[in-house]
């Protein structure tokens, strides 16, 4: 059983500061500096989790977050890494994926079905099965890790940008040396990142057996702390490496940790190696863990990994591990060296072990762990020296090999190669400015790691300050010996040799997948899901590839590697979301609208008043706003319209090419309605074009299209090399539309401009002053009444709005919102691009053919229209009326004929002015016949007959807007 030992020199815990945690209802006493995993270990809790598929008992494996065993639910936060989350007073947590808790998980019965759940089970069992949806519900209910709360919104997580000269990933020996060296060579902003709570990595282990190395490591840490140029980010993980040395850095010691986006001029990856588990029968029992995990528990948290420890060792590190633990008073009974290991059990270091009372066994095979009555490790057995041996133990440490942590280098475009002599992958090509050092670079000895790190730090500093090209550093002092067993896979007749602890995949599963034809690493991954669990293959991908090589008879280097993608470590969606920024635009009159009861609706990234709350209900209020415009006057804020000024000799030419009609012949002071298409002939925008003067035009766009149209105009100016320039006035000018038969007399009180039809005719534009503010006034309107659209600088707009309302108080002027505007424009049959048109609607179909000037030399979409004209319409926009007032029809309700869909409603509303329901619909041309009848189906399946008519529904001659004639 694991237990807390007497104080260990350099430990990270504070024994004077006890903490009380709650694990599945049980009080766990921890110390400041513990992680959740170490707290459980110190409390002797060996089984901390249940496996994903078979719900097998699982314990601590890496103590570094490299495995997905110690994953917990903390409050509403699922899947938190117990190896990394810091213990704090009162924290309550529980295992994920259990039914009834980790100790008595009722779902563990599923393990009895393991033989019926082969690799590729879902494909084999459910492909083509109509019953799958039924099973899917059960499976989904049963599977998955953790619980997500959909009923709460957490506070935003912090996300910040940061810049540095040199980023060093990994604060082990190589990383420390790199950071110190970079500072010594002139880098001023250095960020050193490590997943652990403190720097040092494995450099602080072996305190009694290699004290000179530990002293050197401490010296580096002291120099680091003394440097004002280095920022140390402990308990942070680099989860993604993107172009131009941008690193996504996640805080990992809290469940609500945020994210930094760190942009570096140069990067040193001193990410070390990840110790790989051996694969043997029952290698997943609690009590079976990596050798490096035992040292982490010992030197960081003062915890002994077991009372009777057996080491399964295949490399120099295994011998050093055993000697180290013995020197700290732990009991190592046996060291078993598997056959094929790159070390000789008869060599000198083993003598020291034997002298310490450790029995050494060479060439062992058929290894199997055995569970006790509590489901944790009780013994280990193997076949060696011609006989089967069994050793009673409560801890089995695996120290059989390593995988360099190079995935981040692959994410940013680097490549790696397999070094046969060293028996591991090494960097092959790296992007400029990225340097790999230490064990990840094949340097294993302590001094070599420091030397390699220092060299990489110097190179990074030179690169950061622009010394290009940076000369290759001398050949790194790589190890000349193997540090990994070529394939620590020990098949057993009884099976249960787990390759992937996340997914409960065994050697047999992978062999079966390969034999079924999934014999490349990518196919094997997708079919078996190996490496697709929460730990992203850190402990399984290499062993899976070795098993594939073994089964297919190929060499490991020929198999390649699966693609490395971010995130390298799990990161919460909350951290990615950050502050949840949602830019919202407000018009200059926004506060006035708010004070006067505006009910808001989104319009692009603006908010607009839908209507104003009054004494009556919503529909009556909207109706009253409509009535005011039709019978007196109304005022609407239309500041959200796009507004662009086009200036220069070719301004008219540009607009002629952009719009379907001709605008270059406009006289100064005149406006024209204009429609814009894309290359396919689809309507993308409409608005008004005004000529202010020679070489100076002013155009409006739809609210949603303003940014895109401005960009498109800019692009076209550059592409066509025109002599004109653009200015986007959308945010600089406010706009309001004063409309209604009495609006002229209201406006006359606020301006000196003559407003009679002769001086200021329909579709004219005048520049002058309104209420003392500079203004552009256009006699245009969307609502079919006499109207003036007044554009004025934002900072003067509220005064203009107030003045107009004051002037119109006696005539019943009232503000109106978008809902009333939509009814008013529908009565006039004016379309809204994007509502009455869709992603394929062309001008012929929308009834806008009269706008086209097909004889122009060119306009965008012209050639497509010529083809579309030959092809004929696919749909036709047409008006309809329904006599009834209360019709439950809405936009997108379908028109049905003989059971077939023949179209859909694009706009529909009840018109109090006309006393009937009116609308627009896109119908199949054969059915779009004036005077015909179509049936629209509502949400409840009821049909409503409608008569097809030609819009406009109101004032078809347009007298009211042209002359302001009274109804």
Partner 1 sequence: MSTRFGIKGSDAPALLQQLGLRIPAQPNRVTHWLPHDPWGSGRCLRQGSSEFLIELDSSEMPALPAGGEAFPNAWPLIRSDHSQLLSGDSWSRDLAQLCSFDFARLQDEPDLVVMTLLAGIGVTLIREPAATSTDFALRLWCDASFSTYLQDCLNTIRGSR
Residues contributing to the site for partner 1 (CB under 8 A): 158-163, 189, 261, 263, 579, 581-588, 590, 606, 639, 645, 647-649, 695-696, 723, 725, 727, 729-733, 793-795
**Beta strand ranges found along 100-203 (DSSP E):** 159-169, 190-193
| For partner 1, the closer CB: 582 or 667 | 582
| For partner 1, the closer CB: 676 or 729 | 729
What's the min distance (Å) between Cβ of 258 and partner 1?
A: 9
What's the min distance (Å) between Cβ of 794 and partner 1?
A: 4
| For partner 1, the closer CB: 363 or 714 | 714
| For partner 1, the closer CB: 165 or 819 | 165
How far apart are alpha carbons 825 and 805 in whole angstroms?
22
Give phi and psi for 698, each to the nearest 5.
-135, 125
How far apart are alpha carbons 738 and 637 in whole angstroms?
9
SS3 911: strand
What's the min distance (Å) between Cβ of 160 and partner 1?
A: 5
What's the min distance (Å) between Cβ of 760 and partner 1?
A: 22
- The closest alpha carbon to 942, from 907, 896, 906, belongs to 896
| For partner 1, the closer CB: 189 or 630 | 189
What's the min distance (Å) between Cβ of 418 and partner 1?
A: 38
DSSP 156: P
| For partner 1, the closer CB: 6 or 583 | 583
| For partner 1, the closer CB: 566 or 604 | 604
Q: Where do runs of H (alpha helix) occur along 417-570?
A: 446-464, 507-515, 521-528, 541-552, 556-559
- The 10 Å CB-count burial string (b at 16+, else e) for 265-290 is bbbbbbbbbbbbbbbbbbbbbbbbbb
| For partner 1, the closer CB: 334 or 650 | 650
- What H or E segment, with its residue span, contains residue 629? helix 618-631
What's the min distance (Å) between Cβ of 584 and partner 1?
A: 5
What's the min distance (Å) between Cβ of 765 and partner 1?
A: 16
CA distances from 400 to 241, 291, 313, 370, 560 (A): 29, 9, 5, 20, 22
How far apart are alpha carbons 88 and 86 in whole angstroms?
6
Give phi and psi for 573, each to the nearest 5.
-65, -30
CA 688 to mean position of chain CA atoms:
40
Evaluated on CA atoms 506, 511, 517, 518, the torsion sign reads positive
| For partner 1, the closer CB: 600 or 762 | 600
What's the min distance (Å) between Cβ of 589 and partner 1?
A: 11
What's the min distance (Å) between Cβ of 195 and partner 1?
A: 23
What's the min distance (Å) between Cβ of 956 and partner 1?
A: 37
Residues 6+ apart with CB under 8 A from 904: 892, 893, 894, 895, 921, 922
| For partner 1, the closer CB: 476 or 642 | 642
What's the min distance (Å) between Cβ of 161 and partner 1?
A: 4
Residues 6+ apart with CB under 8 A from 345: 337, 360, 361, 362, 363
| For partner 1, the closer CB: 191 or 902 | 191
Residues 6+ apart with CB under 8 A from 527: 119, 120, 123, 513, 516, 518
Q: Find the distance separating the first CA and the last CA of the chain, reported in whole Å.
A: 94
What's the min distance (Å) between Cβ of 290 and partner 1?
A: 38
| For partner 1, the closer CB: 164 or 221 | 164
* Cβ count near 16 (within 10 Å): 7
Residues 6+ apart with CB under 8 A from 307: 1, 3, 331, 394, 395
Q: Which long-range contacts (CB under 8 A, 24 or more apart) does 142-149 make?
A: 142/107, 143/52, 144/97, 145/52, 145/68, 145/71, 145/78, 145/79, 145/96, 145/97, 145/534, 146/71, 146/73, 146/78, 146/79, 146/96, 146/97, 147/73, 147/76, 147/78, 147/96, 148/76, 148/78, 149/76
What's the min distance (Å) between Cβ of 647 and partner 1?
A: 5
| For partner 1, the closer CB: 483 or 608 | 608
Decide if 813 contacts 746 (C-beta within 8 A): yes
DSSP 489: B
| For partner 1, the closer CB: 137 or 160 | 160
What's the min distance (Å) between Cβ of 579 and partner 1?
A: 7
């Amino acid at each position: 059983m694991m237990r807390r030992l007497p104080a260990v020199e350099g430990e990270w815990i504070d024994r004077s500061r006890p903490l009380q945690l709650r694990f599945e209802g049980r009080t766990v006493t921890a110390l400041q500096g513990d992680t959740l995993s170490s707290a459980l270990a110190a409390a002797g809790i060996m089984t901390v989790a249940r496996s994903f598929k078979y719900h097998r008992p699982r314990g601590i494996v890496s103590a570094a977050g490299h495995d997905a065993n110690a994953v917990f639910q903390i409050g509403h936060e699922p899947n938190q890494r117990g190896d990394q989350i810091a213990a704090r007073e009162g924290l309550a947590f529980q295992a994920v994926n259990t039914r009834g808790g980790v100790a008595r998980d009722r779902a563990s019965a599923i393990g009895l079905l393991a033989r019926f759940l082969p690799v590729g089970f879902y494909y084999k069992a459910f492909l083509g099965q109509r019953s799958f949806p039924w099973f899917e519900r059960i499976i989904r209910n049963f599977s998955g890790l953790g619980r997500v709360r959909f009923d709460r919104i957490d506070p935003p997580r912090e996300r910040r940008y940061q810049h540095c000269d040199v980023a060093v990933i990994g604060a082990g020996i190589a990383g420390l040396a790199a950071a110190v060296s970079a500072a010594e060579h002139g880098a001023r902003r250095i960020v050193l990142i490590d997943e652990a709570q403190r720097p040092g990595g494995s450099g602080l282990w072996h305190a009694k057996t290699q004290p000179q190395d530990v002293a050197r490591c401490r010296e580096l840490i002291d120099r680091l702390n003394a440097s004002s140029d280095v920022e140390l980010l402990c308990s942070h993980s680099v989860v993604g490496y993107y172009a131009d040395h941008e690193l996504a850095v996640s805080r990992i010691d809290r469940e609500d940790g945020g994210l930094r986006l760190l942009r570096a001029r140069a990067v040193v990856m001193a990410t070390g190696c990840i110790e790989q588990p051996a694969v043997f029968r029952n290698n997943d029992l609690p009590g079976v863990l990596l050798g490096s995990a035992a040292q982490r528990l010992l030197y960081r948290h003062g915890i002994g990994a077991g009372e009777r420890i057996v080491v399964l060792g295949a490399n120099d590190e295994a011998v050093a591990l055993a000697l180290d633990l013995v020197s700290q008073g732990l009991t190592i009974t046996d060291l078993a060296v598997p056959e094929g290991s790159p070390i000789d059990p008869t060599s000198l270091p083993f003598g020291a072990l034997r002298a310490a009372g450790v029995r050494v066994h060479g060439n062992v095979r058929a290894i199997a762990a055995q569970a006790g009555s509590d489901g944790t490790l009780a013994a280990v057995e193997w076949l060696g020296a011609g006989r089967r041996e069994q050793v009673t133990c409560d801890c089995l440490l695996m120290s059989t090999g390593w995988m360099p942590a190079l995935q981040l280098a692959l994410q940013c475009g680097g490549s790696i190669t397999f070094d046969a002599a060293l028996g591991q992958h090494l960097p092959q090509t790296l992007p400029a400015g990225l340097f790999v050092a230490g064990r990840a670079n094949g340097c294993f000895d302590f001094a070599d790691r420091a030397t390699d790190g220092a060299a990489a730090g110097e190179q990074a500093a030179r690169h950061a300050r622009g010394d290009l090209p940076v000369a290759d550093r001398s050949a790194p002092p790589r190890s000349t010996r193997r540090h990994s067993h070529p394939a620590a896979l020990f098949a057993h007749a009884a099976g249960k040799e787990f390759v992937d602890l996340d997914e409960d995949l065994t050697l047999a599963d992978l062999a079966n997948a390969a034999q079924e034809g999934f014999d490349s690493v990518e196919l094997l991954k997708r079919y078996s899901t190996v490496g697709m669990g929460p730990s992203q293959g850190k402990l399984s991908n290499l062993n899976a590839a070795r098993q594939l090589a073994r089964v297919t008879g190929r060499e490991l280097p020929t198999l390649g590697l699966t693609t490395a993608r971010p995130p390298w470590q799990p990161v919460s969606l909350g951290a990615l979301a950050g502050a949840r920024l949602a830019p919202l635009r407000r018009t200059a009159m926004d506060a006035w609208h708010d004070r006067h009861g505006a009910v808001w609706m989104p319009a692009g990234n603006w908010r607009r008043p839908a209507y104003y709350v009054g004494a009556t209900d919503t529909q009556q209020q909207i109706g009253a706003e409509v009535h005011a415009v039709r019978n007196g006057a109304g005022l609407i804020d239309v500041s959200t319209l796009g507004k662009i000024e086009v200036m220069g000799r070719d301004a008219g030419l540009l607009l002629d090419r952009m719009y379907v009609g001709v605008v270059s012949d406009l006289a100064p002071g005149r406006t024209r309605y204009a429609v814009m298409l894309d290359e396919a002939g689809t309507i993308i925008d409409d608005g008004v074009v005004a000529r202010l003067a020679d070489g100076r035009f002013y155009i409006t766009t739809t609210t949603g299209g303003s940014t895109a149209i401005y960009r498109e105009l800019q692009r076209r100016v550059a592409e066509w090399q025109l002599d004109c320039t653009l200015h986007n006035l959308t945010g600089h000018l406010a706009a309001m539309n004063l409309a209604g038969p009495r609006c002229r007399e209201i406006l006359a009180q606020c301006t000196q401009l003559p407003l009679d039809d002769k001086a200021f005719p329909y579709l004219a534009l005048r520049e002058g002053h309104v209420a003392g503010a500079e203004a552009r006034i256009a006699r245009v309107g969307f609502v079919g009444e006499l109207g003036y659209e007044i554009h004025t600088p934002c900072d003067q707009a509220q005064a203009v709005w107030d003045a107009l309302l004051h002037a119109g108080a006696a005539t019943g002027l009232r503000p109106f919102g978008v809902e009333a505007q939509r009814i008013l424009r529908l009565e006039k049959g004016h379309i809204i691009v994007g509502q009455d048109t869709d992603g394929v609607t062309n001008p012929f179909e929308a009834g806008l053919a009269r706008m086209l000037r097909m004889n122009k030399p060119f306009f965008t979409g012209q050639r497509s229209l010529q083809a579309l004209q030959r092809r004929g319409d696919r749909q036709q926009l047409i008006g309809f009326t329904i006599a009834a007032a209360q019709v439950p029809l809405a936009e997108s309700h379908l028109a049905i004929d003989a059971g077939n869909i023949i179209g859909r409603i694009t706009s529909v509303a009840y018109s109090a002015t006309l006393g009937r329901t009116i609308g627009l619909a896109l119908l199949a041309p054969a059915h779009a016949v004036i005077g015909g009848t179509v049936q629209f189906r509502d949400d409840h399946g009821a049909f409503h007959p409608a008569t097809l008519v030609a819009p406009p529904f109101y004032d078809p001659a347009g007298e009211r807007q042209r002359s302001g004639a009274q109804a």
